[in-house]
Amino acid sequence: MLRLLDQRLLPGRLVWRDCPDAAAAAAAIRSMVVRGAPAIGITAAFGLAAEFARAPASGDAAVTCFEAAAGRLHDTRPTAANVRYAVERMRARLDGLLDLGASPAEVASGLEAEAEAIFAEDLAANHRIGAFGAGLLPRTAGRKARILTHCNAGALATAGYGTALGVVRAVAESGREVEVFAPETRPYLQGARLTAWELLEDRIPVTLITDGMVGSLFAVRGLDLVVVGADRIAANGDAANKIGTYQSALIAKAWDVPFLVAAPFSTVDLRAPSGAAIPIEERAPEEITEFAGAPVAPDGVGVWNPAFDVTPARLITAIVTDRGVARPPYEQTLRSLSPA
């Protein structure tokens, strides 16, 4: 059975949630029990596998069951490309099993094996991303390297190790001293609750700041690198990530500090020509007007709550994937990394 660590309760409590079927997996994604583009893709894959383990089917019944479950999962978080990637992989595996005349039990077993493969591939991809990205950190003399990230692109957002935090971990494992600055990431506080917790667990120095302090941080403390994750990367290199990423990219550009996007190639959507084609999820106004269930804004105030923003490719120094590093022009370099 799929079991998820409830990230909404971190760092205060470690609570695990069971997801016996695709509907439960979809609810967990939608409510942000689990979040992070690679992690929700993996959850979708295991949710589909759990659906067939619970009620295995074959032939037309299997296709009907799959499409109903896939539809529930596909619509949970529209910005992230990884859910679609996982659903398409699982669909291809199902088609292959049915073409071979697999029994219902064989279908269930095959889909579980495919979900396990997606998980293992993501973990290996994270380590490759870390290795590629660590080599892009500028050399510093006589002090720790200072890195800014945003939101949480660590082990909690992936199969393990992380994308942006995978780069940080790889730097630390290489023996270089590093200090990370983590904005709180309003309104859901993934930076404060998750990134800070992960790094402290790994004994990597981390300093928490508010989202509005990023400009002053560059001016007063100085930074060597910005590295963030992504939920979807368009063919031209535009990258959607947690709201607040765009302003960090603008400030990094003003200070001539490298700005890296780190993500597995499954996050790249070559079917989206630019960021304008990336759907941006808008979430409930209560995430802004309330804190821990208590109102912090007057009744009736208008609220705009996009969960993501799109950083234009012109602000991105490099996109670090598990297949290698892409640099401008991204239309060419991203396609060169795509499997044939």
Which residues are catalytic, by number?
Answer: 231
Residue whose C-alpha is closest to residue 231's, from 186, 275, 193: 275
Residues 6+ apart with CB under 8 A from 280: 79, 240, 306, 307, 308, 309, 310
Q: Which of 258, 301, 241, 276 is nearest to 138 (CA)?
A: 258
Distances (CA, A) of 168 to 39, 51, 202, 241, 261: 19, 36, 11, 18, 13
Contact between 148 and 217 under an 8 Å Cβ cutoff? The reply is yes
Q: How far apart are CA 199 and CA 131, in angstroms?
A: 18
Read off the DSSP letter of residue 193: I
DSSP string, 240-252: EEETTHHHHHHHH
Measured torsion, CA atoms of residues 104, 107, 111, 116, in degrees rounded to the nearest 10: 100
Q: Is-contact 87 75, C-beta < 8 A?
A: no
What is the three-class DSSP state of 256?
Answer: coil
Distance CA 313, CA 295 (A): 38
Can you tell me whether residue 60 is helix, strand or coil?
helix
